[in-house]
Amino acid sequence: MYERRKSRQITVGSVAIGGDAPISVQSMTTTKTDDVEATLVQVHQLATQGADIVRVAVPHEADARALPAIVAEGGVPIIADIHFSVRLAMMALEAGVHGLRVNPGNMRNPKHVQEVAEGAGERGIPIRIGVNAGSLDRKLIAKHGRPTAEALVESALWEISLLEEHGFSDIKVSVKHQNVPEMIAAYRLLAERTDVPLHLGVTEAGTPKQGIIKSAIGIGTLLAEGIGDTIRVSLTADPVEEITAGKQILKSLGLRDEGFDLVACPSCGRAELDVFALANEVEARIEKMDLPPMQIAVMGCEVNGPGEARDADIGIAAGPGRGLLFAKGKQIGWVPHAGLVDALLAEAQRVADEIRASGEGAEAAEGGPTVLKGASRRQTMAIGGIGRGPGRSN
């Protein structure tokens, strides 16, 4: 579906970024990095939630001194986020971090840039250049009038050149803006002008209420155009929420087959049961199950229900007093409303066992309707209504 922009590939620890590598999801700790215990707790929470990479802020020497323990026990690649200081950058490299986020343009002494480029180069450690609308060089603001997309890209290309002139090309770049259209424009422009892998993000996106939507639109638009190699959803919230949102963006675009995809109708006056309660119960219970990627549909009536439920790996289409259960495109049978969730989950487990037994993919499960693109199968669970017609009122 998406023709991926061709970017050079780098690796952050065990995680490849760019080229044909899967889009990775990352976040940043909010703890004081020198509090090793608290930072490791958060790093582990993020890793458990599915973070591919975790970044930690290193504003002071005490933070840099904490890095060896965090790297050793983090369990995921760790990136040190450093501004201005060659000393902290070198300490981070010596601590064994898997990546640096540092803007060479912030280092006033060209010898410092050389030292960091050579130090990172010798160790095979990549550097992310993080251009941000809020901290754009004053000269560029003066030239462009404000932090426009052009200004961000000009800054990024200049920063890239500062490292490349020392023979360092293990680079990824972000051009973040809090304004979504400007952010999209900046990345599009940058994607045309360089092959460095791109780290996507809407900066200062805000609380989850609006930040997730801003990020989904900004990051999602670019990913749908094949632009972007790693993403960070910036939220004013527990960073675990960033990982959840980032993975959901990838799943929504079919870029990551992981966990279950719940298709649930929004309910309306035709609903034969409480779709909200049903969908929430299914979601809560399915999260606790160890299932391969699967789509599950929960539909409230006969209008769209059977179609969606049949198309999912497992689905329910509600009718009066009972619902019709589907698995892999086949009608399994009618189940009273009270037993729908149990029946759905039992069927999900059965299909999951079949998928696992088949080894390679859902296509081995007989009649599998959801042959999904990508390396693995996706599981879809649809909760919906029983319907005959092609009508779509959702």
Between 256 and 310, CB nearer to ligand SF4: 310
Letters for 298-317 (x = contact with ligand SF4 by CB under 6 A, - = none) are -xxx-xxx------------
Provide DSSP, 128-169.
EEEEEGGG--HHHHHHHSS--HHHHHHHHHHHHHHHHTTT--
Nearer to ligand SF4, 246 or 385 (CB): 385
394 binds ligand SF4 (CB under 6 A): yes
Residue among 271 and 352 whose Cβ is closer to ligand SF4: 271
Contact status: 393 vs ligand SF4 (CB under 6 A): yes
Distances (CA, A) of 210 to 46, 126, 213, 230: 21, 32, 5, 21
Q: How far is the CB of 318 from ligand SF4 (least distance, A)?
A: 8
Is there binding between residue 134 and ligand SF4 (CB under 6 A)? no
Three-state DSSP class for 78? strand
Q: What is the DSSP letter of 300?
A: -
Residues 255-274 that bind ligand SF4 (CB under 6 A): 265-268, 270-271
Q: How far is the CB of 307 from ligand SF4 (least distance, A)?
A: 9
* Long-range pairs of 37-42 with CB within 8 A, sequence gap ≥ 24: 39/66, 39/70, 40/69, 40/70, 40/73, 40/74, 42/239
Q: Closest CB to ligand SF4 among 17 and 301?
A: 301
Q: x/- site string to ligand SF4, residues 50 to 79, per CB under 6 A?
A: ------------------------------
Q: Does 381 bind ligand SF4 (CB under 6 A)?
A: no
Told to check if 277 binds ligand SF4 by CB under 6 A, we report: no
What's the CA gap between 378 and 381, in Å, rounded?
A: 10
The span from the CA of 215 to the CA of 218, in Å, is 5
For residue 306, the minimal CB distance to ligand SF4 (Å) is: 10
Q: How many residues bind ligand SF4 (CB under 6 A)?
A: 16
**Between 198 and 265, CB nearer to ligand SF4:** 265
CA distances 220 to 88, 146, 216, 228, 256, Å, are: 34, 25, 5, 9, 13
Structure tokens at 124: 């095979």
Least separation, in Å, of the C-beta of 309 and ligand SF4? 10
Could you report how far apart the first and last alpha carbons of the chain are, in Å? 24
Q: Is 385 in the site for ligand SF4 (CB under 6 A)?
A: yes
Residue tagged 């052009």 (tokens) = 150
Distance of CA 61 to the CA centre of its chain: 31
Residues that bind ligand SF4 (CB under 6 A): 265-268, 270-271, 299-301, 303-305, 384-385, 393-394
